C-alpha cells in the first residue's frame, strides 16, 4: 500500500517539474504554472519523503490500486493549472481527464486565441497519457488479468522479454519507439508547413491518439492533403501494438492477427464509405478518399481529430461512425476502445458457439496467434464486453437526467467510455464541443473516460468492499 502512495507522490513531483518547464517557456501563463508547480511538487515531495523508508512489497491487488489511483492523481494535477487559469473545477477536471485518458473531448472554445502555454499543456497531458497506458497495458493489466489481457501477456511479454532479456529493457524499447515516432511526426508536420509549435502540439496528440488540437477547427485548420495523409499514417502508427514494433525490429516478424484485422477493417470501411460518397454525392474520388480515410482512422484509433463534420454526410455515415466508435485500435497501443484482440476472440467464440449447435459433441478450440485460448481468457473477454456496453447504457441514462437528448446522451456516453473524443449530433459532434453541457454531465463523462481508459473492471474491482478488506 505504501508503495502505491509513494508512486503517486513521484507522479506529482514529475507533473510539477513539467509545469515548471512550461512556466519557463511561456511568459503569458508563467505565474499560473509556477503556482501549480510549487503546490504539486510540495505535496508530491512530502508524500515521497514520508513513505520512502517503508515501501513494502507490490502485490497483484496493489496493481489494481496503483493503476486506478495514478490516473486520478494525474488528472487532478493536470487540472490544477487550468483551474488557476480560471476554468471552473468541472471544466478543468474534464479537460485534464480527457487529456490524460487521451480521449480528446473538450470544453474549451476559442482555442485559436488561447495562450500557448495552456495549449501545450493539454497536448502534453495526452502525450503522457499515451505512454502511460502503453506501460500499464504491457506491465500491469496482464498481471491483473483484466478483460482477457492475460492473452496479451502471452502475445507480448513472453516473446518481447525473451528478445530483450528483461522487462526493463522491453519497457525502455517501448519508450524509445514512442519518442522516435513523436520526433518523426514533428518533422513530417514541419515539412508540411506547420510552425514548430503547431507541429509539436499536434505530434504529441497524434502519436498518443488523443486528438487535442490548437484550433477550434481541429485538424481541418490545415487544408493540406500532405498533412492530412501524414496525420492518418501516424494515428495508425499510434494504434499499433508497440510489442509488435519490437518484434519487427528484432526478428522481422511482421505477422500479427490484431494488426492484420485492424488494417483490413480500416481498408474495407474506407473503400465502402468512399464509394458510397462518390456515388451518392458525386464527390471527387481522391479528395473523398482522403477525407474518409482521415476521419475513419481518427475514430477507429480513438484519436478524435476531424477535418469535416462527417455527421453531415447523412444517416448512413452517422451509423457507421457510431459503430466505429466502439472498435478501438490494437492492444498494447495508445489507442482506447474495446481493442482488436478482444473483438477477434469474441467473434471466434461466437462462431464456435454457432458451430456447437450443429456439432454438440465436437471439439471446437478457439485459437489466437496460433495458440488455444484458455477458458478464463474467453470469460474475461465476454465479461469485459458486458461491462463495456452496460457502462455505456447506464452512463447514457444518467446523462439524460440532466436534460440531454437521446443522441447526445448515448453518443456522449459511448465516446467517453471508448475514449474517442467527439460524439454525434449538433452539440457534441465533430463541429461542436462539450462546453454547453451541465457541470453534472461533465463530471459523469469524466468518470466515463476514466473507467473506459482503465478497462472498466480495474475500476469496478476498486469499488468492491471485499477488495479493501483484502488489501488491508
Cβ atoms of 29 and 23 within 8 Å: the answer is yes
Please check whether residue 149 is in contact with residue 332, taking contact to mean a CB–CB distance below 8 angstroms: no
Residue 365, domain extent: 299-471
Give the DSSP H/E element, type plus range, for residue 368.
strand 367-368
Q: What is the pLDDT of residue 57?
A: 66
Pairs from 162-168 (Cβ < 8 Å, separation ≥ 24)? 163/246, 163/247, 163/250, 163/251, 164/246, 164/250, 167/139
C-alpha cell at 36: 501549480
If one counts the domains in the chain, the total is: 1
Torsions phi, psi for 219 (to 5 deg): -75, -10
User: Has residue 431 been placed in a domain?
Assistant: yes
463 in a structural domain:
yes
Q: Which residues pair with 368 in a beta bridge?
A: 371
For residue 121, being part of any structural domain is answered with no
Distances (CA, A) of 426 to 310, 312, 403, 430, 431: 12, 10, 15, 9, 7
Sequential pLDDT tens for the chain (472 residues): 788 888 899 999 999 999 999 999 999 999 999 999 999 999 999 999 998 887 666 666 777 788 889 999 999 999 999 999 989 999 999 999 999 999 999 999 999 999 999 999 999 999 999 988 777 666 665 555 555 455 544 444 444 444 344 566 777 888 999 999 999 999 999 999 999 999 999 999 999 999 999 999 999 999 999 999 999 999 999 999 998 998 898 888 788 899 999 999 999 999 999 999 999 999 999 999 999 999 999 999 999 999 999 999 999 999 999 999 999 999 889 999 999 999 999 999 888 888 888 887 777 788 888 888 888 888 888 989 999 999 999 999 999 999 999 999 999 999 999 999 999 988 999 988 999 999 999 999 999 999 999 888 778 878 877 777 766 6
- CA terminus-to-terminus distance, the chain: 8
Residue at 212 is within a domain:
no
> Is 345 contained in some domain?
yes
pLDDT of res. 142? 56
What is the per-residue pLDDT for 374?
83
Beta strands in 115-240 (DSSP E): none
Give the number of residues written for the chain. 472
Residue 365 and residue 371: Cα distance in Å, rounded? 9
pLDDT of amino acid 1 = 72
Within a domain: residue 408?
Answer: yes
Residues marked as binding?
102-103, 210, 302-303, 419-420
pLDDT of residue 154: 42
Domain assignment of residue 40, yes or no:
no
* 90: its cell numbers: 468541472
pLDDT of residue 203: 98
Residue 170's pLDDT is 74
444 falls within a domain: yes
Provide the annotated binding site for K(+). 102-103, 210, 302-303, 419-420
Amino acid at each position: 500500500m505504501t508503495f502505491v502512495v509513494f508512486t503517486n507522490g513521484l507522479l506529482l513531483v514529475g507533473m510539477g517539474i513539467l509545469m515548471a518547464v512550461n512556466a519557463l517557456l511561456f511568459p503569458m501563463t508563467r505565474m499560473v504554472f509556477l503556482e501549480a508547480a510549487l503546490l504539486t511538487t510540495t505535496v508530491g515531495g512530502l508524500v515521497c519523503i514520508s513513505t520512502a523508508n517503508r515501501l513494502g512489497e507490490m502485490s497483484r491487488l496493489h496493481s489494481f490500486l496503483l493503476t486506478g489511483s495514478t490516473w486520478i492523481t494525474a488528472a487532478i494535477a493536470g487540472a490544477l493549472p487550468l483551474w488557476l487559469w480560471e476554468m471552473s473545477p468541472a471544466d478543468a477536471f474534464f479537460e485534464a481527464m480527457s487529456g490524460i485518458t487521451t480521449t480528446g473531448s473538450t470544453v474549451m472554445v476559442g482555442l485559436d486565441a488561447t495562450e500557448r502555454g495552456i495549449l501545450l499543456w493539454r497536448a502534453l497531458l495526452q502525450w503522457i497519457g499515451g505512454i502511460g497506458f502503453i506501460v500499464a497495458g504491457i506491465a500491469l493489466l496482464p498481471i491483473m488479468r483484466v478483460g482477457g489481457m492475460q492473452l496479451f501477456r502471452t502475445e507480448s511479454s513472453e516473446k518481447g522479454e525473451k528478445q530483450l532479456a528483461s522487462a526493463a529493457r522491453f519497457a525502455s524499447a517501448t519508450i524509445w519507439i514512442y519518442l522516435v515516432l513523436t520526433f518523426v511526426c514533428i518533422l513530417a508536420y514541419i515539412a508540411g508547413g506547420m510552425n514548430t509549435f503547431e507541429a509539436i502540439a499536434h505530434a504529441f496528440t497524434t502519436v498518443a491518439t488523443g486528438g487535442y488540437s490548437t484550433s477550434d477547427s481541429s485538424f481541418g485548420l490545415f487544408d493540406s492533403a500532405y498533412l492530412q495523409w501524414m496525420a492518418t499514417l501516424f494515428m495508425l502508427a499510434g494504434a499499433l501494438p508497440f510489442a509488435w514494433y519490437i518484434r519487427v525490429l528484432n526478428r522481422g516478424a511482421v505477422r500479427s492477427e490484431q494488426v492484420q484485422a485492424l488494417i483490413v477493417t480500416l481498408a474495407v470501411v474506407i473503400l465502402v464509405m468512399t464509394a458510397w460518397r462518390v456515388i451518392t454525392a458525386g464527390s471527387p474520388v481522391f479528395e473523398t478518399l482522403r477525407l474518409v480515410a482521415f476521419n475513419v482512422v481518427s475514430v477507429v484509433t480513438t484519436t478524435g481529430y476531424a477535418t469535416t463534420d462527417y455527421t453531415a454526410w447523412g444517416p448512413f455515415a452517422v451509423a457507421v461512425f457510431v459503430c466505429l466508435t466502439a472498435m478501438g485500435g490494437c492492444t498494447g497501443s495508445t489507442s482506447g476502445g474495446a481493442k482488436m484482440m478482444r473483438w477477434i476472440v469474441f467473434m471466434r467464440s461466437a462462431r464456435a458457439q454457432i458451430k456447437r449447435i450443429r456439432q454438440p459433441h465436437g471439439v471446437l478450440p478457439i485459437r489466437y496467434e496460433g495458440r488455444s485460448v484458455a477458458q478464463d481468457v474467453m470469460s474475461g473477454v465476454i465479461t469485459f464486453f458486458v461491462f463495456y456496453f452496460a457502462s455505456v447504457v447506464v452512463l447514457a441514462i444518467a446523462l439524460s437526467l440532466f436534460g440531454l437528448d437521446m443522441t447526445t446522451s448515448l453518443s456522449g456516453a459511448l465516446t467517453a467510455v471508448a475514449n474517442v473524443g467527439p460524439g454525434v449530433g449538433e452539440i457534441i459532434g465533430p463541429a461542436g464541443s462539450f462546453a454547453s453541457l451541465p457541470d453534472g454531465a461533465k463530471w459523469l463523462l469524466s468518470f466515463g473516460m476514466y473507467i473506459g481508459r482503465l478497462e472498466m473492471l480495474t475500476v469496478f474491482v476498486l469499488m468492491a468492499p471485499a477488495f479493501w478488506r483484502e488489501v488491508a
